[in-house]
Amino acid sequence: MDIKNAIVTELNNMNLSVNIDNIKNLFVLSADSKNGDVSLPCFALAKELKQNPMVISNSLVSEINSKLTNTSLIEKAEAVNGYVNIFTKQTVVAKNVVTEILSNPNGFGKTNLGNGKTYVLDYSSVNLAKYMHIGHLKTTIIGLVISNLLKNLGYKTVSINYVGDYGTPFGKMITAYYRWGSEEEIKARGVDAVQDLYVKFNREVENDATLEVEAREWFKKIENGDKEATRLANWFIELSRGEVERLCNLLGAEFDSWRGERYYSDKMQPVIAELKSKNLLKQSEGAQIVDLEQYGLGAALIQKSDGTSLYLTRDLAAVQDRFEMYGFNNAIYVTDVAQKLHFKQLFKIVELLNKPYAGSLEHVAYGRYSLPTGKISSRLGKQALLADIYNAALNKAKEIMNERGTKVENFEDVANKVAVGAISFEALKYERVKDTVFDLNASLNFDGETSPYMQYTYARLNSVLEKAGEFDYGAVDFSDINLEEGFEIIKQLNKYPFVIVEAFNKLEPCLIVRHLMNLCSEVNRFYNQKRIIENGKVNVNRLAVINATLCVLKNGFEIINIPVIDKM
Ligand code: ARG
C-alpha cells in the first residue's frame, strides 16, 4: 500500500486549516520509526504563513488529533522540532500489507509499467578469443538482473550476447595454430587447446615480431573470405562460443541472440553511405571520421585508411539491425566504464543521423574489478577465469556445508545454488560505478551480509512455515501481535515494490540487494525475539508475517539471480 498517499488523502479529507493538497509533495516517509511513519516538515510553510514552523506544526497536530475517528488510518500525530510526525495504526497497515502479499504471492512487486514495450539488452558480449574471466562477470550478471527486473515490470526483453568474434585475435589464433597447434589436439582438448594457443601467441610475440605480421595477414584473409582462414576462424569461434554459452548457463544467463561483431563486418557500406549522404563524414589523414569535437567527443573513427571496419562502425550497423528486427523502444549496453566515450560517440552519431531510436539508447556502465591480490591481467593467462571462479565457489560452498553438517538429499544442487548466489551477489552488492575488489571467500561467509546468509534466512523461515502447516490467513487480525518488532518488517515488505521501481529508474540492482538484505536482518531479529510456535501452538499473526516475508524474498531473489533454497 502507498502509506504516504493514504495519509495525505486522509488529511485532505479532514479539511484542515492548511490546504493539504497544495503541499502534498512536502510529505516524506519517516526515516526513523521514532518519528512515526510519515512526516511533514513545516519549514517551507513558514514563509507563506508568516509563522514559526514550530507554531505551525503544533497547531496542525492538535487539529489532526482532534479529528481522528475509529476508522482513521492515523493513530496519532506528534509535533517535534517543526515536523508533524504521523503514526499509522500498525494493525491496520499490517493487515493491509500482509493481505496484499498473501492474496497474490507471486505477483507482489510485479507491475505492468512496461506494458509490453521492448528493451534490447546487450550484455556479456564477450570477446571470444580470450577465456571468459572475472572481467566478464559484472556485465553478465548485471545484464541478466536488469533483464529480470524489466520482465518483472512488464517489459519484453531481448538479450543479446554481442560476442567479439571478429578482428586480429582470430588471425593470431590461426598463426598460433599453424606454428604450434594441431587438429588432433584441438579435437581432443577443445576450447582449452584453442585458448592455450592464444595465450602462447601473446607470450611468444614479445620476442618474435614476425608473428604479429603473420597474424595480420591471416586476419586480412578472413576479411577477404579466404576459404581456409574462414574455416579455421569459424571452428575456433564455435568452440569458444560453446564454452561461453556453457558458463553463462551455469550462472543462469540465457540469450535470445548470439549475433556478434563478425556478422556486421561486411555490412559497413550502408552505414558509410548514410553518413556520407548526411554530410557527416570527413577525411582525416586518409581515414574517415565524424567530427564530434564541438560536442567534446573528439573524432569518431569510422573507417581506417586500409578500409577495415571498426568497432564503432559495427555498432552503428548493429543498432540499426536490432531496431529493424525487434522494433525496440529502448536499448541498453552493459559494459565496463572504460567504454564510456565509445558509447557517447555512438549515441551522438545516432542522434546526428536523426534515427528514430536516438535518445532511447543507454550505456549502463560499471566499475572495474580487481582481485584482492591486485589488478587482473587477461592477456597472458594469469587471469581469474570464470570457470575457475565457479569451481572455487562450488567447492567452498560444499566445504562450508560439510562443516555446518548440512544434511540435504540434493547436496550437489544446493551447493550449486549457493555458489551461483555468491557469485551473483559479488557482482551486484555495490553501486555499479564503484571499482570493487573481488573477494569470493568473503561472499561465501554464511554469517556476514552475504547471499548464503540470505538463502539461509529463507530456508530457515521456510522450515518454520512447513512445521506450522496450513493456515487460513484471512482470519488474521493482527490485534494480538506485538507489532513493535514486527512493524519494521511490515514497512520493509511494503516498500519492496517501490524499491523495484527505483532500481529500474536508476538501473541499479544493488538497491534491491540491499533492501532484501535489510529485510533478512529484520526478520531474523524478529524470529529470534518472538516465538512463532509456542508450546505447540502456532501464533498465526506472526506466522503470517513470516509467510509474507518469504514471498517477498522469493520474488526478489528471482530478480537478483540468487537461487531460492527451500531447505539447507
Ligand atoms: N566485446 C566488447 C568487449 O569485450 C564489448 C561489447 C559491448 N557491446 C557493444 N555493442 N559494443 O569489450
Mean pLDDT (the chain) is: 92
- Give this prediction's pTM: 0.93
Q: What is the mean pLDDT of residues 291-320?
A: 93
Q: Give helix 411-428 / helix 540-560 axis angle, nearest 10°.
A: 70
Residues of the chain with pLDDT > 90: what percent?
Answer: 77
* Ligand 1 in reach of 164 Cβ (< 6 A): yes
- Say whether pLDDT at 485 is over 80: no
The single residue listed with the C-alpha cell 587438429 is: 183
Cα separation, 306 vs 286, in Å, equals 9
Measured in Å, residue 208 CA sits from the centre of ligand 1 at 29
pLDDT at site 382:
56
Per-residue pLDDT at 418 exceeds 60: yes
Reference 483, options 552, 550, 544, 555; nearest CA is 544
Report how far ligand 1's centroid is from the alpha carbon of 399 (Å). Answer: 36
pLDDT given at position 266:
84
pLDDT above 70: percentage of residues in the chain = 97
Residue that wins the pLDDT comparison between 538 and 461: 461
Question: What's the 359 CA to ligand 1 centre distance in angstroms?
Answer: 20
Contacts of 23 (CB under 8 A, 6+ apart): 40, 44, 45
From the CA of 318, give the closest atom in ligand 1. Answer: 10
The pLDDT of residue 484: 65
Distance separating alpha carbons of residues 139 and 150, to the nearest angstrom: 16
Residue 380: is its pLDDT beyond 50? Answer: no
Q: Would you say the CB of residue 315 lies under 6 angstroms from ligand 1?
A: yes
**Residue 393: is its pLDDT beyond 60?**
yes
122 lines ligand 1 (CB under 6 A): yes
Q: Give the tens place of pLDDT for each residue, 158-198.
A: 999 999 999 889 999 999 999 999 999 999 999 989 989 99
Binding site membership of 165 for ligand 1 (Cβ less than 6 Å): no
The strand pair at 533-534 and 83-88 is best described as unpaired
Pick from 186, 267, 173, 185: nearest CA to 229: 173
Alpha-carbon distance of 322 to 356, in angstroms, equals: 12
Q: How far is the CA of 263 from the centre of ligand 1 (A)?
A: 14
CA–centroid distance, 334 to ligand 1, in Å, is: 8
Q: Which atom of ligand 1 is nearest to the CA of 163?
A: 1
Tens of pLDDT, residue by residue over 456-466, are 999 999 999 99
| Cβ 127 under 6 angstroms from ligand 1 | yes
CA distance 503 to 513: 10
Q: Is the pLDDT of residue 225 over 60?
A: yes
Asked whether 301 and 310 are in contact (CB, 8 A), the reply is yes
Q: How confident is the model at residue 370 (pLDDT cuts 50, 70, 90)?
A: confident
pLDDT of amino acid 483:
62
Q: Mean pLDDT, to the nearest integer, of 223-244? A: 94
Q: Report CA(546)–ligand 1 centroid distance (Å).
A: 43
Q: Give the gyration radius of the chain's Cα atoms.
A: 29
Cα–Cα distance for residue pair 218/228, rounded to 1 Å: 10
Which pLDDT does position 378 carry in this prediction?
43
Mutate to test the pocket of ligand 1, among 125, 168, 315, 342 (most ligand atoms within 8 A of CB): 125
- At 481 the pLDDT is 60
Of 138, 162, 321, best ligand 1 pocket probe by most atoms within 8 Å of the beta carbon: 162
Amino acid letter for position 451: S
Who wins on pLDDT, 480 or 417?
Answer: 417
* Confidence at 377, pLDDT banded by 50, 70, 90: very low
Q: Is ligand 1 within 6 A of the CB of residue 345?
A: no
| 559 pLDDT more than 90 | yes
Q: Which residue's C-alpha comes closest to atom 6 of ligand 1?
A: 125
Within 8 A by CB and 6+ apart from 222, the residues are 170, 171, 174, 229, 230, 233
For a ligand 1 pocket test, name from 140, 320, 339 the mutation site with the most ligand atoms within 8 angstroms of its C-beta.
339
Q: Predicted confidence band at 381 (pLDDT cuts at 50, 70, 90)?
A: very low
For residue 498, CA distances in Å to 95, 154, 493 come to 19, 15, 10
Report whether residue 139 contacts ligand 1, using a CB cutoff of 6 Å: no
Atom index in ligand 1 nearest the CA of residue 122 equals 8
Segment 270-291 mean pLDDT: 94
pLDDT score, position 447: 81
123 lines ligand 1 (CB under 6 A): no
Cell digits for 344? 557517447
Q: What is the pLDDT of residues 201-220, one digit of tens each?
A: 999 999 999 999 999 999 99
DSSP 428-450: HSS-TTS-EE--HHHHT-SSSSS
